Amino acid sequence: MRLISLTLVALSLVTSAVAQIPDGYCTVVLSSRPTLAQAADDVRARWSDRDTTVYLSQNGWYAITAQVVRKDRADTVLAQGKAAGRLPNDALCSAGKSYTRVAARFDAAATGENIIWQAVDASRMGKQDKRFIQLALAFQGDYNGLLDGDWGKRSQQALEAYAFRESGQAPANWHLSGLAFDLVEEMDRGGWQMYYNALLGMSYLFPQAQSEEAGSDSNFNNWEHTASSLRYSFTTSDQDRAQGIHDFVYGEAAPGSDPYSLRKDDFAITAVQKANGRHLYARSHFLRGQWSTVILSAEDRDVHLVRAVTASMQQGQATPIRFQEGGFLDRNIQATLDFIDRQEEENPPVAAPSAPVAAASGGDSVNRPRTSQPQQVAVAPPQARPQPPTSTGDSVNRPRRTAEPAPTPAPVTRLEPKRSASSSGTGIVVRSDGLVLTNAHVVDGCTDLRIDGRPATLRNVSDTYDLALLSIDAAKALPYAAFAPEAAGLNSDVTVLGYPLSGLLGGLNVTRGAVSAVTGLSGDSITMQITAPVQPGNSGGPVVDDKGQVVGVVVSKLDAQRLAERIGDIPQNVNFAIRGGVAKRYLRMNGVRHTERSGAPVLSPVSLAETAKAFTTFIECD
């Protein structure tokens, strides 16, 4: 085994202070030992692949802990970590009330692959790297500040918000890699770069590859981002006209809202949200004897773009936004890519034998005999883009590997009618212009696609995630799904909607159940297990929580007949859905900004069905 150097940071034994675990959080306890020396030996022997903190407890024992997680995510983190072998079976999450002080900290060496599992230490990044991550966080919608490379409270809070949303845990270096991958892809797709406007004397972020002029006149030069609702307007003027612009923007604020206004002798900012939800932002600088003004506007779903552009604005020419070559972020990204490469070498996709499942009724409901074992991968494939671990569990800690042979995979069948002249599945409207998410296996081999009877176009397919994007020409804005901000917890109630057995049932079907496991077969982090009944034709349909928000996409079920032949018992309600977080990541990878709504109310069963019915579609394939 590769030797890993460890640095023990011993704290003063004189002080009784303890690093407080924040309210609402707990720390994962890996093991406990009666002496500090034994705790240090245990860390070196078992936990040297991760940062650990050793606490002295009131009972005199030393608790060896790993990352800090939110209490409401603790059960999920522990379950996933134990299932994947990353945590011991007796691991628990402690709020630290009995800890008297920090006895020691062990840091895994910041070299090689080990770096990606460590907690983020912003002091390791140079100013250029910090500026790059600030922009990445702004594109994610988490950072609303200047791209100044100064890492303060606002930057740290934004990083924590991103990390907890993505994985339910404190920031680790692989989160930085994930942010970098997302930003590089977004900037490449849109041609985003710092643009110096010589007329204004200002620099700002601008999508060179996805922009077009939009009705410029003698007063304003107008441009729009073709991939979103973001719009730019530029002008130069005297002070009175500049003041008039800011007064107009301020006056557009929705009643009861909280408009923002800043006025200085040579600088002015006004930001509001209109009654229709659209955001307006105006910024003016007094430069070279005139007032230079930039006005930005966007729908609420694209406010993150407004924040990214406003964060980038500055007087004069700005330096390009890129991470430092050979710097900490560059090394971290390379270590993440090396880890991904090794994972793919060690875990190639393995095809599992497949067979039809017993039909629920006459022969038209037999599953198509094509299935693949749920792939145990922690990262996305290079053809999509390199990703950090997608698991919302203990992903800070590197998965432990065993030498045991892989067990024979349990038989899983896709929920798709047997391919004949035509077949069908279910989809989820994810954008008002007619973009629909479904399973890749639903559209596999189709030459003609229809969504609710309208011709559809296949936009993207991911066999790794078994997800696909389709689109239709929508004559008017369609109701679309909102995704839950958090992952579905163990035993949480879920509802499944879809069009199963269309030749027999012929309409929308709704079933209810719970999340019975937060991972799929053998700890697969792409899927979760649900008890809601599903049938052929449910594939691609939404799994929603009690607020009508999407927490998963139905994908497969355990083949009860084949498993009964193998084990002599019939499994009950063992069905699988692609996790909501994976679906959201897939959408982001394809430039689709999903919708989330915080604080949504709990719906009655009838209201929930009506809400989800509006964005659930029937997909036909010939």
pLDDT tens, position by position, 255-265: 999 999 999 99
Phi/psi of residue 151, each to 5°?
A: -95, 100
Q: Where in the chain is the domain with CATH 3.40.1000?
A: 127-315
* Distances, alpha carbon 44 to alpha carbons 13, 29, 48, 176, in Å: 22, 16, 5, 26
Residue whose entry in the numeric block shows the structure tokens 């604080």: 599
Instruction: Report pLDDT for 352.
Output: 36
Q: Where in the chain is the domain with CATH 2.40.10.120?
A: 410-621
Res. 489: pLDDT tops 70 = yes
Cα–Cα dist 395/86, whole Å: 9
Instruction: Report pLDDT for 350.
Output: 43
Average pLDDT, rounded, for the chain:
79
Q: Over range 210-237, report the average pLDDT.
A: 88
pLDDT digits (tens, 9 = 90+) for 577-614: 999 988 988 888 787 888 887 778 999 999 999 999 99
Res. 356: pLDDT tops 80 = no
This prediction has a pTM of 0.51
Query: 410-621: which CATH architecture?
Result: Beta Barrel (2.40)
Cα–Cα dist 174/118, whole Å: 8
3-class secondary-structure state, position 94: strand
Query: Which residues sit opposite 528 in a β-bridge?
Result: 577
* Distances, alpha carbon 427 to alpha carbons 470, 480, 500, 567, 606, in Å: 9, 11, 12, 34, 21
382 falls in which pLDDT band (50, 70, 90)? very low
* 408-446 residues labelled b (16+ CB within 10 A) or e (exposed): ebbbbbbbbbbeeeebbbbbbbbbbebbbbbbbbbbbeb
pLDDT digits (tens, 9 = 90+) for 199-209: 899 999 999 88
First to last CA, the chain: 53
Instruction: Report pLDDT for 107.
Output: 66
Cα–Cα dist 168/121, whole Å: 18
Q: Over range 89-103, report the average pLDDT.
A: 89
Looking at per-residue pLDDT, the higher value among 412 and 378 belongs to: 412
Quick one: what percent of the chain has pLDDT higher than 70?
A: 80
Topology of 6-109 in CATH?
A: Alpha-Beta Plaits (3.30.70)
Alpha-carbon torsion (598, 599, 600, 604), positive or negative: positive
For residue 80, which of 396, 551, 347, 340 has the smallest C-alpha distance?
396
Query: 127-315: which CATH architecture?
Result: 3-Layer(aba) Sandwich (3.40)
Q: Among 263-272, 341-350, 387-396, 575-584, name the one with the lowest average pLDDT.
A: 387-396
Instruction: Report pLDDT for 467.
Output: 93
